[in-house]
Structure 1
Amino acid sequence: MTIRRSLAAAAVATVLALLPNTAQAAESYPDPQPITGQQIIHDPTVIHLKSGGYVAYSTGGIIGARLSKDRVQWDDAGNAFATPPSWWYEYNSTGDPWAPDISYRHGQYWLYYAVSSWGTNHSAIGVATSPTGLPGTWTDHGKAFTSETTDTWNAIDPAVIKADGKLWMTFGSYWTGIRMAELDPKTGKAIEGTTVHHLATRPDAPYAVEGPYIVKHGHYYYLFASYDACCAGVNSTYKIRVGRSTSVTGPYADSTGKPLLEGGGDLLLAGHGRFIGTGGESVFKDKGRDVLAYHYYDADDSGTPKLGLNTLGWTRDGWPKVF
């Protein structure tokens, strides 16, 4: 099995070396890697645990948890929180959290998530910590960042990255698109008075871009985001686009040089075949390789949202490509 993996890796590297600096053609979009068990998920965030195995958290009325030993068989593992923190109800009547993001630093796991109501930017991003990353072990620490109807951004869809000795959080959905704020690495919350950087938007209202995630590769930071419409089953038009920058705070541009603040972004993955509305993405490291996690709506199963996993490779010009 080790030899087969090595040969496969070598083959991928050879293909990547021959790839030009172009967006991935629609006919080349790969299907998600086969998985079994509990496949239903929305806005997945995945991590390879220090203790072994994998955990995925997701949107869905709760911060739902899935566990896997091999990244193939996934089992339902309940909720991140046994009881919703009381402050969630300030933002919706059901205490419904959205779009979690899991990471590991300073010897513990960090979970960010959003609470809001559909169609408003009266929103908040919360933060919790855990020694193991497993459901039922999280301690909530309240609000990390908020937005109100007077703001020109929406504090949902968080994702955290450490860069240049600082901790940053990207976020944003519609309104003016993707934003970034600096966090205090000790508390995990936004630094008071932090500058809110603008990373990406669309040229026309309602500025349909959300769900940002930033990855460092080589000399560049890559901003992945979900464009167009989510959450409509087989009628969803979600797709993943990407741009890059030499600075974590931007400016980001696509492979043609078009700024993401002017509607740019290379198309990385779009719906194809039964796999509709690919988006809600995140990226995690597994055995030294990058893996793209996302949801799609299964046209062969009444538009049920399911977990998509694909290897993320890199072209000779340093642009991501899905395998």
Structure 2
Amino acid sequence: MTTETSPLIFDGHNDALLKLYRAGGTSAADGFLTGRDGAIDVPSSKAGGFGGGFFAVYVPSPVDLEFKFEEMAKASYDLPLPDAIDWEDAFPVAMSQAAILFDLERRGALKVCTTAAQLRATLGSGVMAAIFHIEGAEAIDAELNTLEVLYRAGLRSIGPVWSRPTIFGHGVPFRYPSGPDTGLGLTDHGLRLVKRCDELGIMVDLSHLNEAGFWDVARHSSKPLVATHSNAHVICPHSRNLTDKQLAAIRESDGMVGLNFAVAFLREDGRMLADVPLEQMLRHLDHLIEHLGEDRVGFGSDYDGAVVPEELTSCAGLPKLRHAMAKHGYNDALMAKLCHENWLRVLEKTWGE
């Protein structure tokens, strides 16, 4: 039954670890337990029925955020991609963010889950369920030695790229209007990464990959195709969004797409402006459900990493989204699928446990 805080929402992407890292690392983690200036913390999760999600480890580039936001508020834009980051520079930053994740687990704020059974049990426990995810594989070396070690530490999901290039492939720029076909696909290193992730049971995240990279994964992976935080290109023609042809491939693989709350990927005009009604999110959900089916759609908020609609700036606001979905006509069974059951299904199939 749908209520203010149920079904629990399990989310495909957040950048809380980056925000905590920038605020001081493990010394800033107290605020995650008691309340902080951010989208996700323990009090907000309880108020909003936020059950957890993919906690991304992301190595930031030096970016002028004020310039980026000003450009993305315009009618069209094409931001230059940041330079690639070497493994030697990325690895210590990634380890610092992973340490924050495990410190939060030690404090009882969340539980890092490595199996679908653990995930399901944790969702019913009152503790946030977390998946250790890497967004942009700069911290993985060409020999994949760090991948093996991080898998042992609990890594279960990885995006080969953010938007800047890596030794594994190429991402899409922040460009509007634009399709996702913006350059070369996976490198030989990238193909080996996909193969080893399949063998280990690490989910490969297609969000941020350009179209050539997407099709490379589709050809070489035996697992469901998953984009943790992407939207419908036919509604918002941004380079970050998925075409109907890509959605058809995801459906064919029995994969999954998490709806991104970032306003530039929701709005038809592609602008980074927060006055986005919840009805616009429902338009994307309807399109994704139409093309993927009810079992392959969920949420991937991008909380703590993007400008999101004014009504949903914190996970405490998620009851508003549930109310809008129920008012739109989604029944209880569909609500449960969209909120968390579909993520459990695709992770069980991807991880094999």
TM-score scaled to structure 2, two decimals?
Answer: 0.29
Name the structure with the higher strand share. Answer: 1
TM-score scaled to structure 1, two decimals?
Answer: 0.31
